C-alpha cells in the first residue's frame, strides 16, 4: 500500500512539473521575447493602462514636479513617467478588490452579518488602500540601506583612484563601472551623475542632485565636501581619507546597534516558543511520575 501511494505521488509530481515546464517559458525565451517585442515585456505600461483611469479619484491636483511623493519615488529608484498613475490607481482599485474578496470569503465560509461583516470589509479595504504605501516604503528602505552599506567602499575606491592620479570625473566613472557588480543602485546613481556632468551641468550641481536622488545624509555630506574642496583648493585625497574613515565608523556603529537589538528581538520568540518547549521537556517526565504516584492514592480516597 505504501509503495502504491509513493508511486502515485511521484506520478502526480512529475505531471505537475511537466506542465509547469511546458507552460512557463524559461529565462532565455523571456529574454528573446523582450528583445523582439520590448512593449510586451513592459508590464508596468499594461498596469498603468488598466488602473490609470481610476487614478484620478485619489491623485492630487498640485504640481507633480515639486511633490514630496515624487521625491520618494526617485529615492526608491522609480523613474517611470506613469508611476504616479500606477500608484494612485492601485490605491483606488485594491480597496474594492480586497473588500469584494473578503465578502466572497465571508459568504462562502461563515455566516457573519451586520456590523461584524462591515468591520471586516472596512479592514480589508484599508489594507488594500495602504498596501502601495507599504510596498513603496519597503523598496525605499531596502534601496537606502543598499546604498548606505556600499557607499563607504565607493569612497575608498575613489580615494585610491584620486591618489593614483585620476581626475575626479574619471574616478566617478571608474567607480560607477566597478560598483555595478556589488550595488546596482549606487552604480546607477553614479552613472547618472557622470551623464549630468557630460551634458554640461556643473560638478557641484551634479553632486547635489546625486544626494537628492539617494536621500541619504552621508551622500549630501560627500557632495558638500567635494564642492568645498574644489572651491577652496584643499586636497581632495585628504578630505576623502577623513570622510572614508568617518563612513566606516558610522557603518560599524550601525552594525553594533543592530547587534545590540538582537537580544530584545529574540525575547518574544524565546518566551512564546522555545521556553514552553524546554519546560515541557524538563518537567514532563517528572509530572508523569508524580501523576502516576499520586493518581492511585487520590482515586483510592
* R_g of the chain, CA atoms, integer Å: 29
- Closest of 198, 251, 202, 246 to residue 222, by C-alpha: 246
CB 221 within 8 A of CB 245: no
Domain boundaries, the chain: 1-41, 143-254
- Cβ neighbours, 10 Å, residue 118: 11
Look at the chain and count its residues: 301
pLDDT per residue, tens digit, the chain (301 aa), is 555 556 656 766 776 666 566 655 566 655 665 555 554 445 666 776 777 677 777 777 777 777 888 889 888 888 887 788 888 888 888 888 888 888 888 887 777 777 888 888 899 999 988 998 999 999 999 999 999 888 888 888 888 888 888 888 888 888 888 888 888 888 999 999 999 888 888 888 998 999 998 888 888 888 888 888 888 887 888 888 888 888 888 888 888 888 888 888 888 888 888 888 888 888 888 888 888 888 777 776 6
Q: Quote the CA–CA distance of 190 and 196 in Å, as a whole number.
A: 10
Q: Quote the CA–CA distance of 184 and 192 in Å, as a whole number.
A: 12
Alpha helices in 52-113 (DSSP H): 68-75, 83-109
Q: What is the pTM of this model?
A: 0.71
Residues near 90 by Cβ (< 8 Å), separated by ≥ 6? 47, 51, 131, 132
Q: Number of C-alpha atoms within 13 angstroms, CB side, residue 158?
A: 23
- Closest of 164, 277, 212 to residue 68, by C-alpha: 212
Amino acid at each position: 500500500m505504501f509503495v502504491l501511494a509513493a508511486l502515485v505521488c511521484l506520478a502526480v509530481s512529475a505531471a505537475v512539473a511537466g506542465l509547469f515546464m511546458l507552460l512557463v517559458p524559461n529565462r532565455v525565451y523571456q529574454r528573446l521575447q523582450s528583445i523582439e517585442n520590448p512593449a510586451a515585456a513592459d508590464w508596468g505600461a499594461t498596469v498603468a493602462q488598466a488602473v490609470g483611469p481610476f487614478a484620478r479619484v485619489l491623485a492630487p491636483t498640485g504640481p507633480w514636479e515639486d511633490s514630496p511623493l515624487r521625491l520618494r519615488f526617485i529615492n526608491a529608484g522609480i523613474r517611470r513617467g506613469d508611476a504616479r498613475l500606477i500608484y494612485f490607481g492601485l490605491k483606488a482599485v485594491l480597496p474594492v478588490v480586497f473588500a469584494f474578496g473578503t465578502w466572497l470569503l465571508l459568504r462562502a465560509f461563515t455566516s457573519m452579518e451586520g456590523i461584524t461583516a462591515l468591520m471586516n470589509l472596512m479592514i480589508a479595504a484599508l489594507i488594500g488602500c495602504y498596501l502601495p504605501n507599504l510596498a513603496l516604503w519597503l523598496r525605499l528602505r531596502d534601496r537606502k540601506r543598499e546604498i548606505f552599506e556600499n557607499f563607504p567602499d565607493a569612497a575608498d575606491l575613489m580615494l585610491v583612484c584620486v591618489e593614483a592620479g585620476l581626475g575626479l570625473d574619471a574616478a566617478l566613472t571608474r567607480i560607477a563601472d566597478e560598483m555595478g557588480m556589488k550595488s546596482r543602485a549606487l552604480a546607477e546613481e553614479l552613472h547618472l551623475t557622470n551623464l549630468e556632468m557630460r551634458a554640461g551641468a556643473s560638478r557641484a550641481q551634479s553632486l547635489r542632485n546625486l544626494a537628492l536622488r539617494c536621500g541619504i545624509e552621508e551622500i549630501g555630506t560627500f557632495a558638500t565636501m567635494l564642492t568645498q574642496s574644489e572651491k577652496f583648493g584643499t586636497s581632495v585625497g585628504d578630505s576623502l581619507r577623513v570622510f572614508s574613515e568617518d563612513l566606516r565608523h558610522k557603518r560599524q556603529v550601525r552594525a553594533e546597534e543592530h547587534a545590540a537589538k538582537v537580544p530584545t528581538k529574540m525575547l518574544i520568540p524565546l518566551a512564546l516558543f522555545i521556553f514552553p518547549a524546554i519546560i515541557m521537556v524538563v518537567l514532563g517526565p517528572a509530572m508523569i511520575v508524580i501523576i502516576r504516584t499520586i493518581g492511585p492514592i487520590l482515586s483510592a480516597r
